[in-house]
Structure 1
Amino acid sequence: MDSLSSPSKSNSATTPHRTPSFKEDTYHLHNLKPTEKKALEEFKEKLTIAAADGIVAGDASMWGIPLLPISATNEKTDVILLKFLRAREFRVQDSLNMLLKCLTWRKDFGADNIVEEDLGFKDLEGVVAYMNGYDKQGHPVCYNAYGVFKDKEMYEKIFGDNEKLKKFLRWRVQVLERGIKMLHFKPGGINSIIQVTDLNDMPKRELRVASNHILSLFQDNYPEMVARKIFINVPWYFSMLYSMFSPFLTQRTKSKFVLSKEGNAAETLYKYISPENVPVQYGGLSRPNQLNTGPPKPASEFTVKGGEKVNIQIEGIEASATITWDIVVGGWDLVYSAEYVPNANGSYTIAVEKPRKMGPVEDAVHNSYTAKEAGKLVLSVDNSASRKRKVASYRYLVRKSNIVM
């Protein structure tokens, strides 16, 4: 049996933070206002008329969900129609125009089959844009990091001409379509994703054209597909620009934004995403090669205060048992060590990992130890040389004779 112990000094686990003004649509019809219900019925009528007039195909569909013929029992169709209505503040004709343009774009772009295409961006997979795990509410999470394009050679390779830009945009849509395939499209289900964008080293001028294209494509053709946009490693100038443009954004749009300054990625992400689903480069325990091995083993969160040393004691380890553990501290920059303490009197403590200074960009620690005698493993993180509070997490597994203990 797997078990988790608490650090000898710890704070309660970080809880999900929700912006008070943000309320994600449940898509339950009984939660709609009378005016919104009326708009939905009118939308269905207009869509049916458009099909009768040949403006839209009678077998039109999106993400494998038929839009026509209209059925009172097709909840998934209602979810899609409500997304377009919400995007246009329940203005029916504007919503219909947006839907029709989206259907045309999806056909011309070949969006329905794009997930199966090999676009030749293997070197960008897991680096620039990728789906990775879920947040604490079950939303798929898409990570974006464009810092790699500060390298001029890489930039020219991907964005050197208009054809290369078009190919990159297809790949970026492909990543989003993969995420959408993970959605439920049903009332009360998971109907949107989380976007995490890393602004570290992002060459803002060079990527302006590509960013504008991506933003335009997503706004026009993927309404209400993002539950929250989290920006990490936000430089001062981005915060300043956001402050300038914030008054022009709707309250609903602003309520989806989370801005986290440089160095606070782990603390911010832990509010929304469990550490086992946060990539290692952002202070979590998720590695790309673990994505296809089933659900990740849950981790325990804890906090290391400035000037504090935390010892995690994993007790009850039997002789010949092997213990495997992962531990990470967001932004490390402290001293880490591990030792095994036998239960028997007179036995010596064994230094499994000698104390070493972990730099700010260190990967998560993954190690194992086979005990020769019964005892406990003590993981130590020493933050006494810093005044900065840090979030951290760990998990472990004890095995004996190939049986999980």
Structure 2
Amino acid sequence: MSQNKFVQAFTEEEKKAVQELKAQLPELLKATAPATDEAPLSSLWGVPLTAEGDDERVDVVLVKFLRARNLDVKEASIMLTDCLIWRSKFKADHVLQESFDQSVLGRVGFLHKTDKEGRAVTYNLYGGDINLEAVFGDVENFVRWRVQLMEKGMQHIDFVNVDSMIQVHDYHGVSLFGSRTANSKQATKEIIKIMQDNYPEVLAKKFFVNVPSWGSTIFKLVRPLLSENTVKKFVICSSSEVSESLLQQISKENLPKQYGGDSVVPELTASDEKTKEKETPLQNDETIEADTLGVD
């Protein structure tokens, strides 16, 4: 009997699909080498991709690609192959060693402690006084930083006790009308594609906090376009519901003070906290991007 709680929860259909996909791993890995001109990757997120042995973490990784493709083994195989090719070309396994200006990018997003089930929590800030030129002036730099933030979260996933993470998207100060730059739109588009294509089924729950009334209206309009499985992971909170909602998921000692907890976030300076107390004035017209809804 399986010792892995996630494998124990597989349906019979999932078990069958996992075994089919696992049997294809040797050839799948070979297929990635010509596309990258490098030796094929032999592991993903620290899990050896092998069809042999009794490491059930492999099954947990594979089922994520299968679920993302409705258990279609062929499509999941293509997705996994493309993911490994992207990781090799992007050098995703090395991004954790790279350095970025946290005084700028730390105000846009940060990883801070875990929820009550040991899952990493990532906070993404969309309002306040974000300097668009400083953040998005170098699109490639921003994209690599954002992937690094995701990889930091993946470090907390061992596929034995934890197989997913939590995200909090904070829209305090965001208006329906605000300035956007060509770089910020390009970066947003790239990040959305990267996350959708290469990090399947790693999100347990996504909180949308301090959502203005127009944000709720937009969500209702696009909800029919989203899968039921995706919508079930969304929790939308108005300003008055933030603390109560987050404290159900995250213990008070781990929740940042900004959200009603006791934890201090190094990435947010005193000046940042003051900024979050102010509303951002209306600026130029903008189109609401997919990231406003957290579709990444």
1:6-405 to 2 correspondences below 5 Å: 26-28=5-7, 30-51=8-29, 60-68=42-50, 70-125=51-106, 127-148=107-128, 150-151=129-130, 154-160=131-137, 164-186=138-160, 189-202=161-174, 206=180, 207-289=184-266
Q: Is the 8 A contact 2:32 2:85 kept in 1?
A: no
Aligned equivalents of 1:173, 1:53: Cα separation in 2 = 24
**Change in CA separation of 1:120 and 1:259 when aligned onto 2, cut-off 3 Å:** same
Q: Is the 8 A contact 1:277 1:284 kept in 2?
A: yes
The AA in structure 2 aligned to 1:222 is Y
Aligned equivalents of 1:216, 1:52: Cα separation in 2 = 25
The AA in structure 1 aligned to 2:14 is E
**Change in CA separation of 1:77 and 1:201 when aligned onto 2, cut-off 3 Å:** same
Instruction: Deviation per CA, 1:26-63: give whole Å up to 9, x if none.
Output: 522x4322222111111112223334667685652112
Aligned equivalents of 2:212, 2:5: Cα separation in 1 = 34
**Change in CA separation of 1:210 and 1:26 when aligned onto 2, cut-off 3 Å:** farther
The AA in structure 1 aligned to 2:168 is V
Aligned equivalents of 2:221, 2:231: Cα separation in 1 = 13
Aligned equivalents of 2:172, 2:186: Cα separation in 1 = 18
Aligned equivalents of 1:157, 1:40: Cα separation in 2 = 44
Instruction: Deviation per CA, 1:242-301: give whole Å up to 9, x if none.
Output: 1111122221111100000123321221121111111111121110359xxxxxxxxxxx
The AA in structure 2 aligned to 1:27 is F
Aligned equivalents of 1:285, 1:117: Cα separation in 2 = 30
* Post-superposition offset of 1:146: 2.3
Aligned to 1:298: none
Q: Is the 8 A contact 1:191 1:225 kept in 2?
A: yes
Q: How many residue pairs align between the two structures? A: 258
**Change in CA separation of 1:215 and 1:59 when aligned onto 2, cut-off 3 Å:** closer
Aligned to 2:271: none
Aligned equivalents of 1:90, 1:133: Cα separation in 2 = 33
| Higher normalized helix content (fraction of residues) | 2
The AA in structure 2 aligned to 1:124 is L
| Higher normalized strand content (fraction of residues) | 1
Q: Is the 8 A contact 1:145 1:202 kept in 2?
A: no
Aligned equivalents of 1:176, 1:54: Cα separation in 2 = 23
Instruction: Deviation per CA, 1:366-400: give whole Å up to 9, x if none.
Output: xxxxxxxxxxxxxxxxxxxxxxxxxxxxxxxxxxx
The sequence identity of aligned pairs, in percent, is 37
Aligned to 1:296: none
Residue 163 of structure 2: SS of its match in structure 1?
A: coil
The AA in structure 2 aligned to 1:116 is Q
Unmatched 5+ stretches in structure 1: 1-24, 291-359, 362-405
**Change in CA separation of 1:159 and 1:41 when aligned onto 2, cut-off 3 Å:** same
**Change in CA separation of 1:256 and 1:35 when aligned onto 2, cut-off 3 Å:** same
* Post-superposition offset of 1:141: 0.6
* Post-superposition offset of 1:172: 0.9
Aligned equivalents of 1:72, 1:58: Cα separation in 2 = 19
The AA in structure 2 aligned to 1:182 is H
Larger radius of gyration between Structure 1 and Structure 2: 1
Q: Is the 8 A contact 2:48 2:58 kept in 1?
A: yes
* Post-superposition offset of 1:212: 2.8
**Change in CA separation of 1:157 and 1:95 when aligned onto 2, cut-off 3 Å:** same
**Change in CA separation of 1:112 and 1:96 when aligned onto 2, cut-off 3 Å:** same
Q: Is the 8 A contact 2:29 2:81 kept in 1?
A: no
Instruction: Deviation per CA, 1:84-109: give whole Å up to 9, x if none.
Output: 11111111011011111110111111
